[in-house]
Structure formats: structure tokens, C-alpha cells
Amino acid sequence: MARIVDTSTMAWQNGGEVIKAMAPEWRANLGPAEQVAETYAKYDQKTLRLDPATTRRLDLIRLAPGYRDLTYAYHDSVEECFCLGGSCWLGGEGTIHEWGYFWRPPGWVHTAATEEGFVALLGIQGECDESGPASRRVRPESEAGRCVTTDDPDAALGPRGFVKMLDSRLVPWQPGPVFARCEGPLDGFDLERVAFKVLSKNPWTGAQSLLLRLAPGYRQARPGRHTAGFEAFVITGSARLGETPLPAGSYFERTAGAEEPPLASEEGAILFAKADGWLDFR
């Protein structure tokens, strides 16, 4: 069955708790040991998804004003982020603001800092067809904004490319019937009451990150199955999964192939969603 998390009922992890939850290859390379505790006292997180086998994870994070990474670094994994509030400066890349998004392939050197504070969904893709395991490799500031793991420009971008500082407010909504022409038959969706914004996508596998806008009255007609894994976070509004309410701040994960109850929304909602393959609900 679907796994549902109401983040409002979860306690924030802070400081040492955040560090302990990191993959060993990340935790060991945070910077000067005598400064790590002070730095991560300004870092809170709520873990929505964590797979120890692949190191894939999705966290709701909150950085206090003045948070700053101790070093520049790159990751062997894809890092993905959707900003829910505040802003964060990324060395070598620019500043991400509310409704901003990035998908960074492995190997690109960066750092992070925020003056006003920052709230976001932060994903580490972990080991899959486009990403390696979670890690952090310290590099000099002079390499900021460069990929240092390969000289092949195609390999540096990976199948989704480097989606850098995308302002999702400038991406057009695709009405359900229009989106379905390219995606394939979305038989189980209420296509007349849904619209999509694609944030990043692997054209080979169909895996993608996107925003869904459910109009008031949206309802999938009956239970169904996703061919690939599907997960979503309710940004605004509210929805229901079967009879379970999904207020803003809720997260749910639907397992590939398992029959799940229909998704509905009386008032309308906007969701950040990830599909591990071609999007469907049959």
C-alpha cells in the first residue's frame, strides 16, 4: 500500500542527528571537524524517504539564516532541490529562490549558503541508471561551477542534463490532454482537471520530476497501479488518497505495480512529484 507521511507531525532533526543520518562518504567530508557541530546547528531536516541500499533519499530541509557549507565539494550522486521558501546561494551556480528548482548531475563543484534562511525538498538520487551513491568530495573553490569527474561534456550532463536555477513559475502548465499526447495514455488520471510542469526528465527511461496542479474536484475514477514508483509532496492546497487526507506538507509514495486508492482533491492542490519511469496510472 501507499506510504503516507504528514510532515507536520514529525520532529525536526538537527545538528548531530542530521550528521548521523548521512551516508558515510558524505559525513566524513563535511570540512574542519572543529566547525562541523556549529555549522549543522543551523541545519534541520525531516526525512521523507531513505533507502540505505542505494543511498537514495528525499528530505524536507530548513536552513537557519547564516548557514554556510564549510567547503566546496562535488557529489557522486545526483542532487535535486525544489525551494519552498527563502533563498540559497550556490557557489559556481547562482541563487535559488522560492519555486526554484535544480537537478545537478554528479561531479559538479559547488557550495551552499543562505543569509535569510531556506526551506526546500532536497533529494539525493543514489545509485540508479543516472547517478552514483551519496558522497561528498571536497574540492578547491577555484573549481566551482565545473565538472571535475569527466572531460566528456555529454557524460558530465547525463541523460537529464544540468537543470540549473530553473524558475518553475516561468515553465508553462501543460493541460492533461496535451501532456498525455507526449507521455502516452494516462487512462487513470482525471485529465480534464490536471496540468503538468516537467522540471527534469530522462528521455530514455521516462523517469522525471514535475509539478502537478489538481483543479478543484479532481478525482481519479477508481483504484489503479503505477508501472513505476511514484512519490509526491503536497505544496499547496490539499488532496486525499482514498479516504486518507493529504493536507499541505503531506508526502506519499506509491509502490510500482501495487494497486492503490484513487487520488482526489476537493479544493485543488499543487504537488511536487517524482516518477521512476513513464508516468501512468492504470
Query: What CATH number should be reported for the domain holding residue 114?
Result: 2.60.120.10
Q: How does residue 130 score in pLDDT terms, banded at 50, 70 and 90?
A: confident
For the stretch 6-60, pLDDT in tens is: 999 999 999 999 999 999 999 999 999 999 999 999 999 999 999 999 999 999 9
- 164 plus 185 within the same structural domain: no
Q: Is residue 260 part of a domain?
A: yes
Q: Is residue 280 part of a domain?
A: no
DSSP codes of every residue in 76-91: SS-EEEEEEEEEEEET
- 162 plus 269 within the same structural domain: no
* Residue 90 confidence (pLDDT): 98
Q: Is residue 281 part of a domain?
A: no
For the stretch 57-89, pLDDT in tens is: 999 999 999 999 999 999 999 999 999 999 999
Provide the whole-model pTM.
Answer: 0.97
Does the pLDDT of residue 1 top 80, yes or no?
Answer: no
Three cell numbers, residue 49: 524517504
Distance CA 148, CA 106 (A): 9
Average pLDDT, the chain: 96
R_g over Cα of the chain: 19
* Residue 234 confidence (pLDDT): 98
Alpha-carbon dihedral angle through residues 5, 9, 10, 14, given to the nearest 10 degrees: 150
* Residue 16 confidence (pLDDT): 95
Does the pLDDT of residue 165 top 90, yes or no?
Answer: yes
Whole domain around residue 242: which residue ranges? 171-275
End-to-end alpha carbon distance in the chain: 16
Q: Is residue 147 part of a domain?
A: yes
* Residue 255 confidence (pLDDT): 93
Q: How many CA atoms lie within 13 Å of 247's alpha carbon, on the beta-carbon side?
A: 4
Three cell numbers, residue 168: 518553475
Supply φ then ψ for residue 191, to 5 degrees: -65, -30
For the stretch 173-185, pLDDT in tens is: 999 999 999 887 7
| Of the residues 169, 197, 215, the one at which a domain ends | 169
Q: Is residue 282 part of a domain?
A: no
Long-range Cβ contact pairs of 194-197 (< 8 A, separation 24 or more): 194/218, 197/168, 197/171, 197/172, 197/173
- 21 plus 80 within the same structural domain: yes
Distance CA 271, CA 181 (A): 21
Does the pLDDT of residue 213 top 80, yes or no?
Answer: yes
DSSP 166: E
Q: Is residue 227 part of a domain?
A: yes
Structural contact between residues 36 and 70, judged by C-beta atoms closer than 8 angstroms = yes
* Residue 282 confidence (pLDDT): 87
* Residue 115 confidence (pLDDT): 98
For the stretch 241-274, pLDDT in tens is: 999 999 999 999 999 999 999 999 999 999 999 9
